[in-house]
Structure 1
Amino acid sequence: MKLVVVSAGLSLPSSTRLLGDRLATATAAQAPADVRVIELRELAVEIAHTFTHGFPGRALAEAFEAVTAADGLIVVTPVFSASYSGLFKSFFDALGGTDADALTGKPVLIAATGGSARHSLVLDHALRPLFSHLGAVVVPTGVYAASEDWGAEGLDGRIERAAGELAALTAGASTVRPRPRKDTFEEVTPFEERLAALRPTG
């Protein structure tokens, strides 16, 4: 499978990139994968220009293509002001402006890094709603790593559990029904027919 890691880390070395790498390694160990890492730090100028020019530059367009073609996605952001970083949000805003259905039905593992454990709620209060809105299938376990988590018990277990969920979702991605486009209608089964199907026939 094609697995893409989107890392919004800014420093070198980056704990955000490290967490993304560990999640990718754990996922690939359970489902063989070709891993591609996209460092948003290297695309910051092109991301900004996308909003002023109306179209992505060559490197950013290639990153968008990789994300769209991926079978599974790992997204990792540092925490700023109790939320994802502006660079992280801008990348996915620009992607949505290019292809509104790029993440529809795509398995996504959300992760974040921060200086304090109290920011761990960013996973459920910011990241999960964002990717649910974009139509992605977000794995149940998100991974947050505070400074004190590195080398401590617990982080490895969360990484393995989340990676296993992503691998399982990716394997079954073909059975996930994509969200209908705005210009189409989803077939609706009348309630009476659904009720009749549940009644015993004998």
Structure 2
Amino acid sequence: MKLVVVSAGLSVPSSTRLLGDRLAAAAAAAAAAPAATAPDPAPAEVPVIELRDLAVEIAHTFTHGFPGRALAGAFDAVAGADGLIVVTPVFSASYSGLFKSFFDALSVTDEGALAGKPVLIAATGGTARHSLVLDHALRPLFSHLKAVVVPTGVYAASEDWGAGGLDGRIGRAAGELAALTAGPSTARPAPGRDSFREVVPFEERLAALRPTG
């Protein structure tokens, strides 16, 4: 399983990057669990795309019409991933402009890049009052981009760090992402005008997460 983390954190160190790292570690562990008895289970690849390093190239994409070398590499990593973990800080009760601009630029370059791809959404903020950003902003955005958004989103307010509830949400969301990326139905449809018709319905992917007996 190949995961990619997209982090829109601006500071160093960044709580947004920290949340992305914890989600990636939990998803990699969940994906490796079924193969624990294998002689040499392959570790999950989890590269991290730091959007603050790509801010200039993201802006130039809209004015030049094509991405720079570093941004093109980030787009290739996203397109080639089995699943994504996307994390943004909350700005004005929504995702950051840099976060939105990255996915806008990706859509301009490759409209179907996220079609059928499992995506775990997450956000960080100073107060729990902004937790609705997951369902009011992030989930609609990635649904519009034809991604398969995992049922559990993860929001971390300042007071959540070190709290047991955050660990539980991270584990549940990571398990759902690992389950969605494990099946053969997660393959990206071949490019083409009718490719979206080949995406497996979300209800069928959710059914794989429910207990069978």
* TM-score of the alignment, normalized to the shorter chain, above 0.5: yes
Q: CA deviation at 1:184?
A: 2.9
Alignment identity in percent? 82
Q: CA deviation at 1:87?
A: 0.1
SS in 2 for 1:100: coil
Q: State the partner residue of 2:203.
A: none
Q: CA deviation at 1:30?
A: 1.4
What is the correspondence of 1:17-28 to structure 2 with a 5 Å cutoff? 17-28=17-28
- Which stretch shifts more, 28-37 or 136-145? 28-37
Asked if structure 2 preserves the Cα contact closer than 8 Å seen for 1:109 and 1:162, the reply is yes
Q: CA deviation at 1:180?
A: 9.5
Asked if structure 1 preserves the Cα contact closer than 8 Å seen for 2:118 and 2:177, the reply is yes
- Which stretch shifts more, 111-120 or 175-184? 175-184
- Distance in 2 (CA, whole Å) between partners of 1:175 and 1:3 is 16
Q: State the one-letter code of the partner of 2:185.
A: T
Pair 91,164 (structure 1): closer, same or farther in 2 beyond 3 Å? same
Q: State the one-letter code of the partner of 1:127.
A: L
Asked if structure 1 preserves the Cα contact closer than 8 Å seen for 2:2 and 2:44, the reply is yes
Q: Does 1:159 align with 2:170?
A: yes
Q: State the one-letter code of the partner of 2:62.
A: F
Q: Does 1:84 align with 2:75?
A: no
Q: Which of the numbers 113, 129, 137 marks the counterpart of 2:148?
A: 137
- Distance in 1 (CA, whole Å) between partners of 2:155 and 2:130 is 8
**TM-score w.r.t. structure 2 length?**
0.83
Q: CA deviation at 1:153?
A: 2.1
Q: CA deviation at 1:152?
A: 1.4
- Distance in 2 (CA, whole Å) between partners of 1:49 and 1:28 is 34
Q: State the partner residue of 1:7.
A: 7
- Distance in 1 (CA, whole Å) between partners of 2:186 and 2:86 is 20
Asked if structure 1 preserves the Cα contact closer than 8 Å seen for 2:20 and 2:85, the reply is yes
Q: Which of the numbers 101, 109, 118 marks the counterpart of 1:98?
A: 109
- Higher CA-based Rg: 1
Q: CA deviation at 1:56?
A: 0.2
Aligned residue pair count: 186
**TM-score w.r.t. structure 1 length?**
0.88
- Distance in 2 (CA, whole Å) between partners of 1:72 and 1:155 is 21
Asked if structure 2 preserves the Cα contact closer than 8 Å seen for 1:77 and 1:111, the reply is yes
Q: State the partner residue of 1:199.
A: none
Asked if structure 2 preserves the Cα contact closer than 8 Å seen for 1:143 and 1:159, the reply is yes
Pair 169,59 (structure 1): closer, same or farther in 2 beyond 3 Å? same
What is the correspondence of 1:49-198 to structure 2 with a 5 Å cutoff? 49-172=60-183, 174-176=184-186, 183-184=193-194, 186=197
Asked if structure 1 preserves the Cα contact closer than 8 Å seen for 2:83 and 2:118, the reply is yes
- Distance in 2 (CA, whole Å) between partners of 1:176 and 1:114 is 31
Instruction: List gaps (5 residues or longer) in structure 1.
Output: 188-202
